Amino acid sequence: MAFIVLFFKKKLIKFMKSLLQTSIPWGKIMRAAFCPTLMIFALTNNSYASAKSSITTHVEKAKYEINGKVTDAKGEALPGVSVKIKGTTTATITDVNGNYKLSLANGESVLVFSFIGFETQEIAVNNRETINVKLKDSNNTLDDVVVVAYTTQKRATITGAIEKIDAKVFQDRAITNVGLALQGQTPGLVVTRSSARPGNEGLNFQIRGATSINGGSPLIVIDGVPIVNYLSFQNMNPDDIESISVLKDGSAAIYGSRGANGVILVTTKKGKGKVKIDYSGNMRFTTNGITGYSNSQKEYASLWLQANKEEAIPNWWGWDTQANMEKLASGYEGIYTTRYWGDVFIGDANRIDEMFARRYSYQHNLSISNRSENSGYRLSLGYADNQATLATAYDGQKQYNLRLNYDYKLSNRIKLETGITLINAVTKSPSTGLDSRLFANDMPFFPAKNPYGQWNANFGKVGNRNSVAATTDGGRDNKNSLTGRFDLKATVNLIKDLDFEGLASFQNEQYKQEKYVTPVQLYDWYGNKSTEVLENTVQNAGNPGYTSVADNHFYQYYSGLLRYNKTLNGLHNISAVAGINAEIIKDQSIRASRVVFTNLGVQDLSLADPTTSTNGGGKTQTGLYSYLARINYNYAEKYLVEALGRHDGNARFDKGFKFRDFGSVQLGWVFTKEKFLKNLAPILDFGKIRTSYAVKGNDAGLGNFEYLNLISTGTTVLGSTPGYLPTSFVDNNGIYTNLRTWETVYEKNIGVDLGFLKNRLTTTFDYFIKDNKQMLIKINYPTILGGSAPKTNDGHLNVKGWEATIGWKDHKGDFSYNVSFNISDNRTLLKSMENATSYGAGRNATLVGSPLNSWFLYQTDGYFQSQAEVDAYLAKYTGDAMAKVAKGTAGELRPGDTRRLDINGDGSITANGVKTSDLKFMGDANQHYTFGLNLGGSWKGFDLNAFFQGVGKQMIMRTGNLAYPFATIYTNQPTNYEGKTWTVSNTNAEFPRLTTNQDRAYWNYGNNDFMLQNSRYIRLKSLVIGYTIPQSISKKASLEKLRIYFSGNDLWEATSIKDGFDPEMGEVSQNVGYPFYRTWSMGLNVGL
């Protein structure tokens, strides 16, 4: 316990800090450490033969032989089980058939059988010659081996805040996007999406909240190598994933300048066991989820009538008259005569029904794997077609995956591993017609076609929008990302306990986009051409008819690592890794477009008008060169120490500024191993306290070559017959600096891992504080500078948070079940940033002394109930916020309008100000208490798994056209406010009086405290119910395994959102209209 107290003592922190002070030349130390080892390596190469012979000599002469077979509880052979003679280093592993053979000194030894996922067993030989062992499934995750940066560790001895996610998470999910599958799976990692459209989900990953106002996302490493792009993670075949580790605290510091936002380490499946062929596949369809925002003509008109009933001078906008509006409200379908638009046909055109319908998707995975004595391989193929619910045109993604992992032992000392991956993701979508055009702009009562079968314009002749027409005929946007990766790794045992590992990885993404837009003519109901061509289908230089893009990203990664593992006296466990890491990425882009394109059924750039050609391109490169090291020491797996660091060099900085040091020091104490705490054992089986301090970097906000003054080129249009002329300019108008560096984040972490009741109940808790003390921010200079100065390292952001998990698993006979829950939260605080000292009404992204995205809103006190109250208010208050609702204005306040409070008591209602406004801080807009809840159980062949994910608190205020009634009068309206607003006969309503005056509508609704709503939700992300045919039956069909299952996504949710939108959509109502959907699928797993 004293240890815990110590943690908070500044002295210890100071000590840890001092270890990491930049004054210690980590780089030099590491180079010094590394260079000799390289020499050793060179020497050992030369004396390879002699070294080999010297190693054989230390194996003692066999005296006693034992053999046997290791199986699991069901009697299935277990290959790869470690069989070790207790108290010695002599060990072997079982072969493909689970057989082992070992030479012993005598028949009195004790054998230790251990294997990941199974309980370790110790068996005394007792002079037997054959010992067959049945290993029990382990309930104890502490035995897990966890992949950490550049090495693996036993979970029990980990000192960092590291989460492990295993393959189960991806099994049977009707999802091919790894990112989506990770939503809610682990505390601290938050995955958000803004759309359900495959390939366009707008996924965002964040570990432990924001790190910087400049953003930054977790570094993703697959099989030890960072990835060339996020797509090669999101679009990888989920079936290929063996495990994922999420490094949250100082454990990520070994990735230096890329570690600040945490690291996600992905390990792929390798070949194991006898030849195995697995097929899994599912068919699915989607149905619309929440569409509560969708209104009808009647509802729209009814809201208007209600609002204008409250107005002294009604405003019917383009509808002109109350009569027209009443006709709308009656549901009359037919011609409406208006002054501005002429004759317009109105009729039922429910956009959801018109545009979205059940679509089918499917995925297939096939894998073959095998391991023999000297080699192992796993080949997997995946194909998926994911379609969203758009019915007017194909909107989805096709995914093709191939992966081959192959390893081969050249000798006892040299092992080669190769990995080949191909991912082809093809996203095809309409070029226009979605987003705000779907729903937020126009009311859904302009039918898509007129009686002549022509595309009908909204608002008769003057309209220029029609989402059905745009998505059907407006052109296509096709994107294709082909990523290939080749890894080659060689591991050489140099001398006892010391291995060298060389790794090279080449990753190449070829991205292609072909986009064409074709003008779509709209017509009015009578067949007359509309004056404007469909929005966004007009072709011009800014919106060319045909665009073709080819990008290429080539990433090379090389590393050389030395690994050292040693156990002294069975008590002192030392392991160390040191090495060099070099990376380079080259990007090239070519784009060409022609303005005038007519779609005649064949789509290619060459078919567009060549006289309107433009093309461009660019290429860039950047590199990293780093020295890294990590040392772990533990005493009897009780006292744990870890230190790691990286001397990181980056091509983005000028000479002399390229290198910077990052690192972490970590301590852990497995207190349940202390003798004096042994008596806790029946209840508390395992207890560990761990702590870390780290210095990590964030590379967000930095571009290539920003330390140089660069010239860019472009074009301008001149000439009596206009044509292009080349132009050039100096980037950022010639303002640059070479005096900046990575953002540096200082992070402290303390965590506790506990296991109770034979480790059936496990919990983990972590608390962290991170400080980005060199956040890149813009300093405001007088604008006569002529441009904005680059960001410099002058800001400070502080983030504090915690994560907790609790899990229970047990079994009773054939019934086994598990429950786990995880939750996390973090709070940001902007400590210093120039220019971020004033706030306005609404959400303020940055304000010193407040969290990021702070809400400052008007505090209100109900609604005026009488004219006398209004008069008194108008007489008493002035101020900038009052300007448009003051006496004599068109927006003059009336009974039923909102009473905003003068909270500073200065007699005026003001929005602008530093400290003297009437705005009240009302929390932030960030996600809080994000959680995941997993319920699983199985009985005989049946299994069930339900996974819920959610957010406990996120305060949002709807923005965009549908923010509140009559935020904008010429758009669709959020009709679900009707009946909830103040009227003479409903003075106790939830919302203020409706008004068609936009200024008053803003006063009544905009940025008022009661409009803030909690976007919290809990959603059944995944439900899997499966049945495995008993092997006794499937064997008859020569199948190892046959399983059928139902799998569903997003089937149910509960949310506090009041205005009918999906809680995952975010707050912008402009995006509404493309429904989030529910997925229903049936699947099959077959094993040969």
Please list every residue from 778 through 817 that binds other proteins, using CB under 8 A.
780-787, 789
Given 20, 26, 41, 1086, the residue binding other proteins (CB under 8 A): 41
Report H helices in 163-293.
Answer: 178-182, 231-234
Q: Say how many CA atoms lie within 13 Å of 604 toward its Cβ.
A: 3
| Sign of the CA dihedral with 451 first, then 454, 459, and 462 last | negative
Structure tokens at 601: 């059924």
DSSP state of 158: -
CB of 560 to other proteins, least distance (A): 4
The contact pattern for other proteins, residues 462-491, with x = CB under 8 A and - = no contact, is --x-------------------------x-
- For other proteins, which is the closer residue by CB, 131 or 228? 228
Q: Which of residues 637-696 bind other proteins (CB under 8 A)?
A: 649-651, 655, 658
d(CA 819, CA 264): 24
Site string for other proteins, 539-578 (x = CB under 8 A): xxxx---------------xxx------------------
Q: Starting from the edge strand earliest in sequence, which strands make up the sheet with 121-124, in order?
A: 91-93, 82-85, 110-114, 121-124
Element (H, E) at 640: strand 639-650
Instruction: Tell me the Ramachandran region of residue 1047: left when phi exceeds 0, alpha when psi lies from -120 to 50, beta otherwise.
Output: beta
Question: Smallest gap, in angstroms, from Cβ of residue 313 to other proteins?
Answer: 9
Near other proteins in 85-124, by CB under 8 A: none
Q: How many residues sit close enough to other proteins to count as binding (CB under 8 A)?
A: 84
List residues bridging with 697 in a β-sheet: 744
CA distance 366 to 395: 26
Angle in degrees, CA 769, 771, 774, rounded to 5: 170
Q: Which helix (H) or strand (E) holds 5?
A: helix 2-8
Site for other proteins in 392-431 (CB under 8 A): 410, 414
Closest CA to 612 of 673, 513, 542: 542
Binding mask 736-775 for other proteins (x = CB under 8 A): ----------------------------------------
Q: Which of residues 818-877 bind other proteins (CB under 8 A)?
A: none
Report the Cα 922 to chain-centroid distance in Å: 27
Of 356 and 736, CB closest to other proteins: 736
Q: How far is the C-alpha of 495 from the C-alpha of 53, rounded, in Å?
A: 11
Q: How far is the CB of 745 from other proteins (least distance, A)?
A: 23
Of 500-508, 547-555, 953-961, 1005-1013, which part binds other proteins (CB under 8 A)?
Answer: 500-508
In this chain, which stretch among 63-71, 140-148, 582-590, 1077-1085 interacts with other proteins, using CB under 8 A?
Answer: 582-590
The site map against other proteins for 703-732 (x = CB under 8 A) is -xx--xxxxxxx-xxxxxxxxxxxxxxxx-
Out of 3, 7, 33, 48, point to the residue binding other proteins (CB under 8 A): 48
How far apart, in whole angstroms, are the C-alpha atoms of residue 226 and residue 232? Answer: 10
Q: Tell me which residues in 12-31 interact with other proteins (CB under 8 A).
A: none
Query: d(Cα 331, Cα 297) in Å, to the nearest integer?
Result: 7
Give the residue with the Cβ less far from other proteins, 75 or 719.
719
Min. distance of Cβ 789 from other proteins in angstroms? Answer: 6
Closer Cβ to other proteins, 559 or 828, answer by number: 559
Q: What is the 3-state secondary structure (H, E, C) of 337-370?
A: EECCCEEEEECCCCHHHHHECCCEEEEEEEEEEE
Judged by CB under 8 A, the chain residues 338 through 377 that form the site for other proteins are 339
Interacting positions 505-544 with other proteins (CB under 8 A)? 529, 531-533, 538-542
Between 313 and 568, name the residue whose CB sits nearer to other proteins: 313
* Minimum distance from residue 404 beta carbon to other proteins (Å): 20
Binds other proteins by CB under 8 A, chosen from 117, 502, 842, 895? 502
Residue 116 or 845: the one with the smaller Cβ distance to other proteins is 845
Return the closest-CA partner of residue 287 out of 196, 362, 192, 180: 196
Nearest-CA neighbor of 794 among 822, 828, 837, 832?
832
- Give the dihedral sign, CA 985/991/997/1000: positive
Scan residues 127-166 and list those touching other proteins (CB under 8 A).
none
**In the complex, minimum distance from the CB of residue 418 to other proteins, in angstroms, rounded to a whole number:** 12
Shortest Cβ 42–other proteins spacing (Å): 7
Nearer to other proteins, 21 or 531 (CB): 531
Nearer Cβ to other proteins (132/780): 780
Dihedral angle of Cα 723, 521, 393, 481, to the nearest 10 degrees: 0
CB of 576 to other proteins, least distance (A): 18
Check: CB of residue 419 under 8 Å from CB of residue 490.
Answer: no
Q: Using CB under 8 A, which of the segments 194-202, 203-211, 662-670, 777-785 binds other proteins?
A: 777-785
Q: Of 584 and 592, which CB lies nearer to other proteins in the complex structure?
A: 584
In the range 266-325, which residues lie near other proteins by CB under 8 A? none
What is the closest distance, in whole angstroms, from the C-beta atom of residue 200 to other proteins in the complex?
26
Whether the Cβ atoms of residue 671 and residue 636 lie closer than 8 Å to each other: no
Q: Nearest approach, Cβ of 579 to other proteins (angstroms)? A: 8
Q: How far apart are the C-alpha atoms of 279 and 274, rounded to whole Å?
A: 16
Contacts of residue 639, defined as CB under 8 A and 6 or more positions apart, other chains included, come to: 668, 669, 670
Near other proteins by CB under 8 A: residue from 102, 329, 492, 882: 492
Closest separation in Å from C-beta 533 to other proteins: 5
Closer residue to other proteins in complex, CB, 41/1076: 41
C-beta of 279 vs 705, nearer to other proteins: 705
Distance CA 750, CA 748 (A): 7
Binding residues among 598-627 for other proteins as defined by CB under 8 A = 612, 617-625
11 binds other proteins (CB under 8 A): no
Q: Closest approach of Cβ 543 to other proteins, in Å?
A: 9
Contacts of 722 (CB under 8 A, 6+ apart): none
Which of 787, 907 has the CB closer to other proteins? 787
Work out how close the CB of 829 gets to other proteins at its nearest, in angstroms, rounded to a whole number: 25
Cβ distance to other proteins smaller for residue 619 or 1035: 619
Distance, CA of 702 to chain centre: 21
**Beta carbons within 10 angstroms of residue 470's beta carbon:** 27
Nearer to other proteins, 41 or 100 (CB): 41
**381 — phi, psi (to 5°)?**
-125, 140
Which C-beta is closer to other proteins: that of 170 or that of 516?
516
Here the tokens at position 964 are 């509140």
**Terminal alpha carbon distance of the chain:** 54
CB of 731 to other proteins, least distance (A): 8
Backbone conformation region of residue 28, classed left if phi is above 0, alpha if psi is from -120 to 50, else beta: alpha
Q: Which of 231, 368, 596, 806 binds other proteins (CB under 8 A)?
A: 596
Interacting residues with other proteins between 624 and 643 (CB under 8 A) = 624-625
**Using CB under 8 A as the criterion, what x/- string covers residues 918-947 for binding other proteins?**
------------------------------
Q: What angle do CA 779, 781, 782 make, to 5 degrees?
A: 160
Q: Output DSSP code: residue 390.
A: B
User: In the bound complex, what is the minimum distance in angstroms from residue 624's beta carbon to other proteins?
Assistant: 7
